[in-house]
A = this chain, B = another copy of it.
Amino acid sequence: MIGQHIIARFAALLGPKGVITDPDDIAPWVSDWRGRYHGAAVAILSPACVEEVAAVVALAAELGVALVPQGGNTSMVGGATPPADGSALILSLRRMNRLRSLSADDNLAICEAGVILSNLHDAAEGAGRRFPLSLGAKGSATIGGLVSTNAGGTQVLRHGTMRALVEGVEAVLPDGSIFHGLDALKKDNRGYDIKQLLIGAEGTLGVITAAALRLVPAIAARAVGWVGVASPADALALLRLTEAELGNSVEGFEVIADETLGFVLGHIPGTRSPIETRTPWHVLIEVDHADLRDPGPGERLEGALALAFERGIAIDAVVAASEAQAEAFWRIRESLSESEKAQGPALQYDISVPVARMPAFMIEAADAAMARFPGTTASSFGHLGDGNVHFHVRAPKGTSDGPGWIAAQGQAINAFVHDAVVAAGGSISAEHGIGQMKRAELARLAGPARIGALRAIKAAFDPKGLFNPGKLIPLPDEA
């Protein structure tokens, strides 16, 4: 446990607003939002500027105190939860929440780490632009956390993950030095790309204090369609067809099994299937245009769908006739997780494989899991065009003791699903990261070159192991 004399040293740097020690104020930040991981910390350090962050980091290095960088605390993998033994302090970036600049001409926003995503969305919109990354936690998630976890979301198909949107970062490295990398250079070959290394490092190599982010034109018009298809392979054929016909204006492309759609229709009052025909698989597609002078996206999407019928790819399809209908289509997609949860206990996997292999993977991995674990049902839905689906294995019908089922079967099912992912050349973490949840599975599956490189980089940047201990890097007995 960290003593009061140590807290006093930090308080002397940061002043009273910069150090939180009231247990009631600390409580919400020592567990993850899903309630799976529980830690302890005697204080939250909350610096107001990069110089204060650097001073905190230098003092922590001097004193040998571990730090857990934290933004909105919305990690899906326990990535921002401090160790349970109270051996670390939380380094909150939430007070660093200034939008330092926003230029519509340059399509660039410079945000401090504590800026909340939805606030950036609003600011960009106010300037006639948009920041094209969004996810469910947008009201809490911060820019620093989103960069540190290379966040994804539903707009990756067109705009990429956070990595593709970050033009520069400012960070404090574990030795207390400030990395000044906010100048947005389109070309820069001054050696190893430190920015790329910090993106997705989950706060284990230092702490990001600000980022320069790329903005894109606001959406002038959108068309949202719902298409019934026979298989994931046909869904992929539909994606390729729409890309060929509509270029890079396809902004959303989500694939849903009919069974999963059924969960939503049974669980969410007032929902109904957008199409009349019962088809094995469904596709939600959104086409956007930034320029109103172009042919309407609705007309263009209808043209592409006509071709899909002609080629036998689509069985049934509808294009939303109004914005309200478009929103109803998206509401189905956004209700999938909740509706799945209502079916009973399940294990959920955030996985990716190469796009071309995904249709076969969706069918074969589900069949294999159900055969290997009798009584379970397995299926997937999600971002087919990104090669990323949410793969779920549900407990046998009537399982009342969910935690008991997970305790008994979880490890075997985890290993089974992850082995299938690796066999398909995929990743056991598409967008959520490693955190503490997937650390042991990473150790088991990553192979010696990757594990060796991860450990070497960690030791090089943070030789004392003071940054976000226990996250991402497999423990000594884990590989």
Contacts and interface: CB of A to CB of B under 8 A. Distances in A.
Given A356-B106, A461-B456, A434 B152 contact: no
A197 B188 contact: no
Contact of A179 (B290, B453, B459): B453
Interface string A101-127: 001011000000000000000000000
B187 A427 contact: yes
B194 A200 contact: no
Contacts of A88: none
A430 B187 contact: yes
Interface in A329-367: 352-356
Interface in A165-189: 173, 175, 177-181, 183-189
Interface string A433-454: 1100000001000111110111
Contacts of A428: 190
A459 B180 CA distance: 22
A194 B454 CA distance: 8
Q: By CB atoms of chain B within 10 A, which of A152, A181, A196 has the most? A: A196
Given A353-B185, A450-B179, A472 B434 contact: no
Contacts of A453: 173, 179, 192, 194, 197, 461
A183 B454 contact: no
Given A106-B356, A452-B177, A429 B388 contact: no
B196 A193 contact: yes
Contact of A460 (B105, B356, B450, B460): B460
A387 B184 CA distance: 10
A414 B51 CA distance: 32
A60 interface: no
B386 A426 contact: no
A66 to B, nearest CB: 19
9 contacts: A156-B186, A186-B387, A187-B352, A187-B383, A191-B200, A192-B205, A193-B196, A193-B199, A194-B450
Ranked 9 nearest A-B pairs via Cβ: A460-B460, A196-B196, A183-B425, A456-B460, A177-B449, A188-B427, A187-B430, A179-B449, A187-B388
